[in-house]
Structure 1
Amino acid sequence: MAAPTDLKEISSSLRNLFTLLTKGPEAEQAAIEKARPKDVRSISLHNLHTGEKSSVDYWIDGQYEKDALAEINKVLRDHRNDAVCEINCELIDYLSSLQRKLGVEDKTLEVISGYRSPASNAKLRQKSRGVAKESFHMKGMAVDIQIPGTSSDLVFNAAKDLKTGGAGYYGKSRFVHLDVGGVRSWRG
């Protein structure tokens, strides 16, 4: 950095130095805190039915971010009737942990099914015997996903290894069901 050459520059530099020196240890601590890397959890979602995409930092320095959670709730809403539900934070953490375990934090999770209203769940039950009457989807506690470029079998096995909640592998449809209703696994 070149030395200041005119009186204005010298005066400004001295003023900045004086301000820094007179603020004391509180200012120094604040500067350190500001420079410290934040503990951040992020997630990227793509709802395959609505086409919506969202990438958010949903947890920063020990706090869930209200606006980010609202965005996640919107993207994971019931695409059949636009009903929105508060998605369980443990489920969001499960998805984030799964991405870290697989080393695919840079990839977007493709969502086949997030929240399901009771009416939507009942309609799906009429079409398929594999839909639970008391589905965790209706409580904002389950999601069906796939990760582009990552085999669903690998996603399923990583989810099982996390022992965070339920993991179901639906090989014919090539998606993985994840929920936070208790640790268990199955193939459908």
Structure 2
Amino acid sequence: MLSRRALIGGAVAGGAALAFPMPARAMGGAMGGEWRLAIRNVHTNESVDALFARNGRFVPEGLAELNHGLRDWRTGETMAMDHHLLALLVALREKLDLSGRTQIGLISGYRSPRTNAALRAAGGSHTGVASQSQHMLGKATDIMVPGVSLARLHGAALALGGGGVGYYPRDGFVHVDSGPVRRW
């Protein structure tokens, strides 16, 4: 017999899955196949190529690799990254018709509150560093993809409609987050 907590937890998880459909091709259809992300931190040159879901189930070791790869590179602090963000990055890579092994250039992933405050103080609020940044929640990345124009990356991210999308052509990246849908 299911406990009330397990039943509510299952309903919430099921509702989240319906609210954010997984990219069909990434999972080889509705519930089959594999999801992977390959990222390279442009600041540290560290690379991660992690299988993080298989046959509709998350792979803890792959998630741990991605959490480490998307960590605050300034402090070394990690956070469990939002699974919807990871799925959004897979969907974005698919939208661009890139292979699962194509590396996404990471400018910023998780950002600790201390790092976020320091970045805001260093450049003031005009730099685009939000005081309540999705980066601090493990729900945001600033990315580029070698060989893909920022305009094309930006357009693909907007077309997905999966969260926030910011365009920073002077700084060489596109912001993608799994928060509320918005653009700037």
TM-score, length basis structure 1: 0.77
Task: Write the deviation string for residues 97-149 of structure 1: whole angstroms up to 9, x where unpaired.
Answer: 00000011242000000000000000000123210000000010000000000
Report the alpha carbon displacement of residue 167 of structure 1 after superposing the two structures with TM: 0.6
Are residues 1:78 and 2:86 paired?
no
Q: May I ask how many residue pairs the two structures share in their alignment?
A: 149
Tell me the distance in 2 between the aligned counterparts of 1:84 and 1:45.
16
Instruction: Report the residue type matching 2:173 in the other structure.
Output: F
Are residues 1:180 and 2:173 paired?
no
Select the residue among 36, 40, 44 that pairs with 1:46: 40
**More RCO (CA 8 Å, sep 6+):** 2
Gaps of 5+ in 1: 1-37
Tell me the distance in 2 between the aligned counterparts of 1:78 and 1:102.
27
1:2-151 matched pairs, under 5 angstroms: 38-105=32-99, 106-128=101-123, 129=125, 130-151=128-149
Q: Which moved more, 1:109-118 or 1:126-135?
A: 126-135
Report the alpha carbon displacement of residue 42 of structure 1 after superposing the two structures with TM: 1.2
3-state SS of the aligned residue for 1:169?
strand
3-state SS of the aligned residue for 1:172?
coil
3-state SS of the aligned residue for 1:116?
coil
Map of 1:167 onto structure 2: 165
Gaps of 5+ in 2: 1-31
Tell me the distance in 2 between the aligned counterparts of 1:142 and 1:161.
17
Q: Which moved more, 1:102-111 or 1:60-69?
A: 102-111
Tell me the distance in 2 between the aligned counterparts of 1:43 and 1:113.
15
Select the residue among 135, 153, 161 that pairs with 1:155: 153
- Structure 1 runs of 4+ off > 4 angstroms? none
Identify, as 1 or 2, the structure richer in helix: 1
Tell me the distance in 2 between the aligned counterparts of 1:42 and 1:122.
32
Which has the higher Rg, Structure 1 or Structure 2? 1
3-state SS of the aligned residue for 1:57?
strand
Root-mean-square deviation (CA, aligned residues, Å) is 0.9
TM-score, length basis structure 2: 0.79
